[in-house]
Amino acid sequence: MAVTVFGLSAVTAHAGPPGTWTKVTGIGGGVTGGEEIGLERTSDGKLHVAWTRTGASPGLFHSALSADARTVSNPNLIVAPSRGINNRVDLVAGSGGGLRAFFSGLSDAAFSDRMGTATSGRDGRAWAVQQTAASNGSFGGGSPVYASSGISGLNGAGGTPISIWGDSAPGAGGYHVGVDPSTADSHFTTGCCTIDPNGARETGTGRIFYAWNRLDPTRTSSVVQTPGEPAREVPNSQGAQLGHRLSITGRIGHRGVYVAYTAGANPFDGVPALWKVGDREPQILSTARGARHTSLAATPGGHVWVMWARDGRIWAGRTSMRGTRSGRYQVVTPPRGTVVTRNLTGESSRGALDLFAYVDRGAQGSGYYHQRLLPSLAVTASPERLPARGGRVNVRVTDSGRGIENAVVSFRVGSRIERVRTGRDGRVAIDVRPAELRTHQINANAPGFAQGSALVRLG
């Protein structure tokens, strides 16, 4: 008897609504210039988005995605600098469960050409702009943030906000702890040029890690540094995706800081990689070349979502709880009419991945679109021949190698569909009569997961 087992190469992507892209930035008209947006989730489950509009009426806006990801609120204006705004912004948790935005623009306000900040309550409807700058500008001739190559932020110990910016001139990139302009700025010391900066805080230790792409006359690479320690070069990071915030995160509830990036000698022929800071080598997530905009997002339990664009599609999957093993990747097609995908980012603090892609749709304009993805179940099936009874299929349902208990396994036998549940280790056996020995599809479903499938041939 010939026995063959196939793993399906892709699974259906779920979203809210399932499989639907929703435009999030640029609502209400105007030109969306946001190369980087800010994302922050509040305790009510809403995911808040800070984004910019350029052109004749520049401004920083806020929208909110509902907890079920089915609706996007109308935009609320945060600030409208009269003479322009940097098209990269960030959003972090504010005091009392509210929100804080970091931005830079040119205007008559005191924060002009420095780091600006604004706060709101949990709903994000009304914003108070801090009239003083949230950076000092004392380094050399100042730290002109308006023209900087990237803006980011995070919260440090005790919820202290930290703003980060890239170079606008050699050596002008750095960070500011707190929002008091009388506190001196700190500056990165690796020379020219610091671009696409980001930051992360490690659970447990509270250590802050800064990360950026470094562009100098001879080579490009990515760098991670903890204050007071030497900078570390990310392994094989010459394929850094310039213009894309270097993706770094701590794990939720566990130690370890991870960087997702495109590994390789150039940005057009690299592979997606995940590096635990301090390890000698990264995990290579796929050997298929041409990965772009590799990003990550942390999930409860220690998992990390990783995503990248390649060949006109988007790939996304979740690691094991230890962050050491990749699960099954979902393959998602960008919004219809997409000419090019220019950026990816996401948020997954509730388990599912809220994926955002900045896409150019030609005459239909550009902007960030959202789709929600659930982690995908993997199904393996091991058939065996039982002479007196026909056959048996031993099925295991896993998430990144971990067996999923009580997953519903469905299996068509003749004209009926059998449904059984997996045991504690994700295993279940299905008996098949001799007359039913043929190719079968096995599906597995569990709450909080996208369906997994496999094909099995008996006979």
Cα distance between residue 6 and residue 86, in whole Å: 49
Give the distance from CA 429 to its chain's centroid.
37
pLDDT of 286 reads 92
pLDDT of 9 reads 32
CB 259 within 8 A of CB 234: yes
Closest of 317, 237, 318, 316 to residue 275, by C-alpha: 237
Q: Dihedral angle at the C-alpha atoms of 282, 285, 290, 296, nearest 10 degrees?
A: -80
- Give the position of tokens 């026995």: 3
| Residue 230 burial by Cβ neighbours in a 10 Å radius (0-12, 13-18, 19+) | exposed
Cα distance between residue 321 and residue 63, in whole Å: 31
Q: Is 292 left (phi over 0), alpha (psi -120 to 50) or beta?
A: beta
Cα distance between residue 147 and residue 391, in whole Å: 68
Cα distance between residue 406 and residue 447, in whole Å: 10
pLDDT of 2 reads 31
How confident is the prediction along the chain (459 residues), in pLDDT tens digits per residue? 233 333 333 333 344 555 789 999 876 555 555 689 999 999 999 999 999 987 777 899 999 999 999 889 889 999 999 888 999 999 999 999 999 999 999 988 888 889 999 999 999 999 999 989 999 876 555 578 998 999 999 999 899 999 999 988 777 889 999 999 999 899 886 667 899 999 999 999 999 999 999 988 778 899 999 998 989 999 999 988 888 999 999 999 999 999 999 999 988 999 999 999 999 999 999 999 999 999 999 999 889 999 999 999 999 999 887 777 777 788 999 999 999 998 999 999 999 999 999 998 888 888 899 999 998 898 998 876 655 556 788 999 998 888 999 999 998 766 778 899 999 899 999 887 766 656 778 899 999 898 999 888 766
Cα distance between residue 426 and residue 420, in whole Å: 11
C-alpha Rg value of the chain to the nearest Å: 24
What is the β-pairing status of strands 59-65 and 76-79? antiparallel
Cα distance between residue 178 and residue 199, in whole Å: 14
Q: What angle do CA 242, 248, 250 make, to 5 degrees?
A: 175
Cα distance between residue 359 and residue 340, in whole Å: 6
The domains of the chain, with CATH numbers, are: 22-373 (2.130.10.150), 377-457 (2.60.40.10)
Cα distance between residue 163 and residue 155, in whole Å: 9
Cα distance between residue 196 and residue 371, in whole Å: 24
pLDDT of 62 reads 95
